[in-house]
């Protein structure tokens, strides 16, 4: 797959749940997934806390927004359409 994103990281599919998210990305093989996940959590936490501070203060009183854990799966050979469909259908399954 040739990537045309300037960062060699392309978001292909996203679906958010009440307590987690599913993200399908194409990454440059040199990318460090653990750093990418850490950056996504840090930046998204900062943005969410800033834009929705009044709402989330009712639920989050600690300075921790995301769990430190994550699940990272690599795929090869599966058609992207199948992976995208899986992510899109997560809300219906759970």
62 in a structural domain: yes
Count how many domains the chain has: 1
**CA distances, 29 to each of 9, 26, 37, 40 (Å):** 10, 9, 15, 18
pTM of the model as a whole: 0.69
2 in a structural domain: no
Q: Which two tokens stand for residue 83?
A: 């992976």
Domain that holds residue 78: 9-93
Beta strands in the chain (DSSP E): 9-16, 21-27
75 in a structural domain: yes
Per-residue pLDDT of the chain (94 residues; tens, 9 = 90+): 444 565 678 888 888 887 888 888 888 888 888 888 899 899 988 998 899 888 888 887 777 788 888 888 877 778 888 888 888 887 665 5
């Amino acid at each position: 797959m040739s990537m045309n994103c300037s960062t060699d990281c392309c978001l292909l599919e996203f679906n958010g749940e009440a307590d987690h998210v599913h993200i399908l990305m194409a990454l440059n093989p040199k990318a460090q997934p653990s750093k990418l996940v850490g950056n996504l959590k840090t930046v998204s936490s900062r943005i969410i806390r800033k834009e929705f501070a009044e709402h989330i203060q009712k639920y989050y009183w600690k300075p921790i927004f995301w769990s430190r854990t994550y699940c990272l799966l690599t795929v090869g050979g599966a058609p992207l359409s199948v992976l995208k469909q899986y992510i899109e259908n997560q809300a219906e399954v759970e």
